[in-house]
Structure 1
Amino acid sequence: MNDHADAYEALMQFLYRAPIGLVQIALDGTIEMLNPMSSNLLMPLAPDGNLDNLFDVLSGVAPTLQPMAAAFPASSGVICEALRVDLRHLRSAASGTEVLSVSLLKVDGGRIMASLSDVTQEVRREQETLARRLDSAARIDALTQMPNRRAVQEQLQRILERGSVDQQAGFAVLFINCDRFKQINDAFGHGAADQVLMMVAERIRTTLRPPTDQIFTVSGPAQMAARIGGDEFVVVLDGMRSADDVHSVALRLLKALGNPYRVDGHSISCPVSMGIVLADAAAAEADEILRDASIAMADAKRDGGSRALVFEPAMRERSARRGDIESDLRVALLQEQLFVVYQPVVGLRGDHGPDYSAGVEALVRWQHPVRGLVSPIEFIDIAEQSGLIGALGDFVLERACRDFMRWQAELGARAPRLIAVNLSRAQLAKPGWADTVKEILAAYGMSAGALQLEVTESLAAQDESVTSGLHALRALGVTLALDDFGTGYSSLSSLHLLPVNTVKIDRSFVSQVDTSPHHRTLVEATVMVARSLGMSTVAEGIETAEQAAVVRELGCDKGQGYLFSRPLTTEALVAWLVER
């Protein structure tokens, strides 16, 4: 008997001292027994001090408990386990318990055992862990698992703050951008483009592993490679001994990233341009450093790509001017500040001298209300990079067709027989753009054969989407010309693959055709290959009578250049044609 009494006493002591609340209740929630911990946890929820019924005490914070207990069909078993009850909105939370965990166990047909515990600290730890994970995820690029822009900003800020104390600490920022990522997207699809980005990321990581000469410092993280958006990557180099070390890393990266990528059986070329900001030219804020590195990268891209340029303050001024021009160009398109001039294209093969009515080339100009006449050299490149080139090209095409038909009415037989308009990639890549050309021709009653659309050699050879667009235009009956042709015999060998009618020989060859046997041979070869393919030729940039005589002797069909005329306004062109 004493053993049973001792065991019962031990059980009661355990229940009394248990660190969790234990409550025995009837099926309706009437409290039959509870330990002190239960009283501590429940009393703040019963301000009147009434702890007669557990369901009543918890009704304001856990109203589902009583319906769950009533609906539990078995004679015994777990009704609910570790149901968390949020008390933070109650004044009772001031007692320290912010989250209460409640479990109900049906003991038999008439009794339920409830366990209560304060899980405030546990919930706080879970929330802190989740916050750390979310905070970490907020610094990671999902596609490449590289650090993202936010992580780069924080790293740069730490370096800048340290630099105010340690003036000897050298660092550099390399801003990397793929030169032709849009073309990859267009030609191979987003899935393949994403694979290329992941391979770019891996090559950057591999290339940045410390080489045997140990450029990087041993203490602390010497480098960070990140993807900050789209096809833009950033490398932060810390602890660099000299600018030469930075250039060495940049050259290794350019070489590694310039090699082709193998994706789904395709060999994809994705060279990069890079802008570099060195510590001695770094701005005071992380965002400003990234901006300056991006400016240098854009200059590297404009210089032809596949290269690295170090940022200089003058670049920032040029970039600001380019930004102003882009903004003004958008206004110019709306306010018709743009106009078209025409440079005559003269026939060279006639028996009775030059044919001045052979054709004209339409060229866009911009009369800015403040800047005056803005050079095309300044705004054409900006239009291409800002996405305005398509609208610009459509404006020129529409205006050129309108003027062409007006000349036919005014000049009759003396009017130009052909009008040439330059074509941009944006126009060719636009779905159904051939239909736009067809509509413009129909609107002015113009024959498709009277329109020549000109595409540069580099654009024509880019990808299938461009070639497809050219075929669609040729199907309309439009004449297609290959502009700025002159990269030598390698281009001649593939000329038959391009759906063009005319080859325009670049001025760099024509300018020396009368003095250089080499250039004469190249022009002659181009004329012969084009003629064998049924194509006509135009010699660009003729400035002297001697050049004109040679290209005519070599069989060029037409010529264009200052010898005949500079670009003219519509009125001046009419006068020029009438005089001749």
Structure 2
Amino acid sequence: MGEQSAGGPTEQDLLQFLYRSPVGLIDADAEGAIALMTPMAAQLLLPLAGTASMDNLFDALAVALPGLRARVAAHGPAAGPVCVAQRFAGAQRNGERATLSLSLFRAEDGRLTAVLHDATHEERRQRRRVEAAAHTDSLTGLPNRQAVQEHLAVLLAQPRTPGRQHAVLFLNCDRFQHINDSAGHTAGDALLGLIAARLVDATDAAAPPAPDTVAASLEPLARTARPLVGRVGGDEFAVVAELDDTPTAVHTLSVHLATELARPYVLGDRSMQCSFSMGVAAAIPGEDTPGRSLYHARLAMTEAQREGGARIRLFDTLMLQRTRRRTDLENDLRRAIGTPELHVVYQPVVRLADGAVEAVEALVRWQHPLHGALSPVEFIGIAEDAGLIGALGQVVLATACREFAQWRQRYPERGPRLLAVNLSRGQLPEPTLVTGIEDILRDTGMPAGALQLEVTESLAAQDEAVQMRLHELKRLGLTLALDDFGTGYSSLASLYQLPVDLLKIDRSFVSQLETSAHHRVLVEATIKVAKSLNFRTVAEGIETVGQAEILRAMDCDKGQGYLFARPLQTDAFEAWLQQRQPSWRG
């Protein structure tokens, strides 16, 4: 550096600064003729010029920026920027094409000043940020579905290591929607963040990468034995782990995760507890694909959910068969609603005191053209999941009300006084449920007081929204029954909070009455508490005279079961009504 004058840097200082600057500077006239350029400018421009003259800026950039001369001419003589930070491809360097940036300004005297710099590193960093964002879940910071699939692709492309296996664990939070509805989406999002952090800790997975790194570059992680944790859906997570090739290793990891995730989560002053359904599938190099491995694990998780949740299921090929059958049945069900394939059968409910027919329960059946007679167990869940339960329920209710109204006229003395129809978990949340029932009652001439709607105990005890809907239904003037009592979440002490008129004692208790003193005590206690609350009682699944005698002695009001009659087609039920002699013995 030369000596500095009192006024600032010397001319030598300025020359040294320009010579060492990492940015190229070029001074040219209005026609592009170069009068001055720094060494960096020459270094960046020379590979682009090729055989063109380095004396003219437009000529040197003719291949890289062919429209630059016309752009300057279009700008006119006014001073100001012609282009700012325009990116364009530079020369090949170390197997990678460089990215250059040009800013061009016209001075008041018409001369041009060009600022040229190498933007390769900046471009690469920006690409990494974009790529990281595309592979990272914004809520939890975990790798997203795409990143998990790419990680699996890396693993599956490697040779299989003797004594080692890759496992995919697919996890879903049971009843997460209930948490969102009751606590709000903000709390739900916070809970997902806590779940993600706990999964990472429980698997000893690598922390989520920083946003400016390449999240998709998963090869280093794939070369280790550390699991990858990702969020692959709303409340769905996946864990990809390399383990010892033994069933014990998979079992140990899955149980460990389930145990850790089941611990309470603290959100402010609130403590929440969640259960998880988990599916586990193998990822075998040379046999599986990332999509197939995730799909198999998800299928196993779905099976765990259908079995009640809070459990772990290993994938097996039978799940594929069940899924295909379920898909086929869903398509067939869409077509069958409103056709004679779906029909209603009726099972009588008798008064245990004297055997008189008190009510009749309407039950839907499906006569499938290929599979024959299907019970509701096989298709009601499909209808709920597919959003068909509302339409199906309307058809069943309308059919049953119409036929019941006819029986009231034909059999004023012998006919049932009450029609019972089940409501499924998929029907209660529907906003048109109440108005739809009102329309059916009006159209069929069915008195509201003669209709009994039945909901399962576990459904009625779920939350305030369900109980509010039950109150809306009760205001129509109909009867509400609590079905399968004893198998759900209610307690005898909380029954008074539900707007129900009748308890149906589940068949699992009735079947044990003759052999189990414990079950007799439970049933008798239920009947006594129900009567203290002015609830009537019905015992389901009565199959023997002995069961009926015990229930009558306990002062149970009504009974239903094969002892009296199986579910009957319409004509068969009418014949049963005409032939039957009143007797509580069936």
Same fold per superposition (TM over 0.5): yes
1:268 corresponds to 2:272: yes
| SS at structure 2 position matched to 1:111 | coil
Q: 1:191, CA displacement in angstroms?
A: 2.4
What CA deviation, in whole Å up to 9, does each residue of 1:196-215 have, x standing for no partner?
222221221121128xxxxx
Partner of 2:143: 147
SS in 2 for 1:429: coil
**Is the 8 Å Cα contact of residues 418 and 451 (structure 2) preserved in structure 1?**
yes
- Cα displacement string for residues 342-369 of structure 1 (whole angstroms, at most 9, x for unaligned residues): 11111123xxx2111x111111101112
Q: Which residue of 1 aligns with 2:251?
A: 247
Aligned partner of 2:476 in structure 1 is 476
The aligned residue for residue 102 of structure 1 is: 103
Q: Which amino acid aligns with 1:159?
A: L
CA contact 1:261–1:267 (8 Å) conserved in 2: yes
Distance in 2 between residues matched to 1:253 and 1:156, nearest whole Å = 20
1:23 corresponds to 2:23: no
- Aligned-residue Cα RMSD (Å) equals 3.4
Cα distance in structure 1, aligned partners of 2:408 and 2:569: 16
Whether 2:58 is the aligned partner of 1:42: answer yes
For 1:507 and 1:263, how far apart are their aligned partners in 2?
Answer: 41
1:267-416, aligned counterparts within 5 Å? Answer: 267-278=271-282, 283-333=287-337, 335-349=339-353, 353-356=354-357, 358-416=358-416
> Given residue 114 of structure 1, which amino acid in structure 2 is its aligned partner?
L
**Residue 576 of structure 1 aligns to a residue in which SS?**
helix
Q: Which residue identity is paired with 1:534?
A: N
Q: 1:46 to 1:81 in 2, by over 3 A?
A: closer
CA pair 446-169 structure 1, distance change in 2 beyond 3 A: same
Distance 1:285 1:15, change over 3 A: closer
Q: CA contact under 8 A between 1:259 and 1:271: conserved in structure 2?
A: no
Structure 1 residues 10 and 296: CA distance shift in structure 2, 3 A: closer
Deviation at 1:408, TM superposition (A): 1.9
Note the C-alpha offset of 1:86.
Answer: 6.3
The answer to which structure has the higher helix fraction is 1
Alpha carbons 1:425, 1:466 under 8 Å: kept: no
Once residues 16 and 548 of structure 1 are traced to their aligned partners in structure 2, the CA distance between those partners, rounded to angstroms, is: 106
**What is the distance in 1 between the residues matched to 2:184 and 2:421?**
30
* 8 A Cα contact 1:359 1:418, kept in partner: yes
Match of 1:195 among 170, 187, 190: 190
Asked whether the equivalents of residues 156 and 285 of structure 2 are also in contact (C-alpha less than 8 Å), the reply is: no
Contact 1:186-1:465 within 8 A present in 2 as well:
no
1:148–1:228: 8 Å Cα contact kept in structure 2? yes
Counterpart for residue 575 of structure 2: 575
In 2, the alpha carbon distance for the partners of 1:514 and 1:363 equals 28
In structure 1, C-alpha distance between the alignment counterparts of 2:244 and 2:74, rounded to whole Å: 64
Q: 223, 228, 235: which is aligned to 2:232?
A: 228
> Structure 1 residues 273, 564: CA separation in 2 closer, same or farther (over 3 Å shift)?
same
For residues 119-178 of structure 1, give each alpha carbon's deviation from its aligned partner in whole angstroms, at most 9, with x where no partner exists. Answer: 4x42x54433322222221111111111111111112122222134x3433221111111
SS of residue matched to 1:500 = coil
- Report deviation, 1:260: 3.5
Match of 1:156 in 2: 152
Give the 3 Å change call, closer, same or farther, for CA 177–463 of structure 1 in structure 2: same
Residue 71 of structure 2 corresponds to residue 61 of structure 1: yes
For the 8 Å contact 2:350–2:559, the answer to whether it is kept is yes
Tell whether 2:135 aligns with 1:130: no
One-letter amino acid matched to 2:566 = R
Matches of 1:538 and 1:234, distance apart in 2: 46
- Paired residues, what number? 532
Give the corresponding residue for 2:109: 111
Q: Taking structure 1 as reference, are residues 68 and 126 closer, same or farther at Cα in structure 2, changes over 3 Å only?
A: farther
For 2:164 and 2:343, the matched residues in 1 are separated by 54
| Distance change (3 Å), C-alpha of 1:9 and 1:505 | closer
Residue 45 and residue 129 in structure 1: after superposition, are their counterparts in 2 closer, same or farther (change >3 A)?
closer
Superposed counterparts of 1:81-92, under 5 Å: 83-85=84-86
- Could you tell me how far 1:464 is from its partner in structure 2? 1.1
Residues 13 and 313 from structure 1, CA distance in 2 versus in 1: closer, same or farther, beyond 3 angstroms?
Answer: closer
Instruction: List per-residue Cα deviations over 1:382-422 (Å, max 9, x = no partner).
Output: 22333333332222222211221122233233222111111
Contact in 2 for aligned 1:503/1:535 (Cα 8 Å): yes
SS in 2 for 1:370: coil
**CA-CA distance at 1:533 after TM superposition:** 0.4
Closer, same or farther: CA 384–66 of 1 in aligned 2, 3 Å: same
Q: Which residue identity lines up with residue 407 of structure 1 in the other structure?
A: W
Q: CA 1:478–1:64 in 2, change beyond 3 Å: closer, same or farther?
A: farther
Partner of 2:558: 558
Distance 1:460 1:223, change over 3 A: same
SS at match of 1:140: coil
Please state how far the C-alpha of 1:522 moved relative to its aligned partner: 1.1
Q: Deviations over 1:53-93 (max 9, x none)?
A: xxxx9562246643652xxxxxxxxx4497245678xxxxx
Alpha-carbon distance between aligned partners in 2 of 1:292 and 1:407, rounded to the nearest angstrom: 51
Change (3 A) 1:402 1:127: farther
1:139–1:150 contact (8 Å) kept in structure 2: yes
Counterpart Cα distance in 1 of 2:540 and 2:225: 56
Measure how far apart 1:461 and its partner are.
0.8
Q: Which amino acid aligns with 2:320?
A: R
Offset of residue 563 of structure 1: 0.4
Aligned to 2:323, the other structure's residue is in SS state helix
In structure 2, C-alpha distance between the alignment counterparts of 1:125 and 1:576, rounded to whole Å: 87
- Counterpart CA distance in 1 for 2:230 and 2:20 is 55
Query: CA, structure 1 residues 83+68, in 2 after alignment: closer, same or farther (shift >3 Å)?
Result: farther
- 8 Å CA contact 1:176–1:233 kept in 2: the answer is yes
Q: What percentage of residue pairs aligned between the two structures are identical?
A: 46
The answer (yes or no) to whether the contact 1:282–1:289 under 8 Å persists in 2 is: no
Aligned to 2:419: 419
Structure 2 CA distance for aligned equivalents of residues 145 and 494 of structure 1: 43
Cα deviations across residues 496-548 of structure 1 (Å, max 9, x unaligned)? 22221100001111112133222111111111100000100000000011111
Aligned to 2:163: 168
Q: What is the match of residue 54 of structure 1?
A: none
- Alignment partners' CA distance in 2, 1:533 and 1:281: 64
Shift of 1:229: 0.8
In 2, the alpha carbon distance for the partners of 1:491 and 1:10 equals: 89
Q: 1:10 deviation in Å?
A: 12
One-letter identity of the residue aligned with 2:36: N
Amino acid at match of 2:356: D
What TM-score, normalized by structure 1, do the two folds share? 0.83
Instruction: Summarize the Cα distance change of 1:45–1:261 in structure 2 as closer, same or farther, 3 Å threshold.
Output: closer
- d(CA) in 1 for partners of 2:275, 2:307: 14
Residue in structure 2 matched with residue 443 of structure 1 by the alignment: 443
Report the CA distance shift for 1:496/1:163 in structure 2 as closer, same or farther (over 3 A): farther
Q: Check whether the contact 2:26–2:115 (CA below 8 A) recurs between aligned residues.
A: no
Q: Distance in 2 between matches of 1:487 and 1:338?
A: 28
**Secondary structure of the equivalent of 1:484?**
strand
Give me the whole-angstrom Cα distance separating, in 2, the residues matched to 1:415 and 1:315: 46
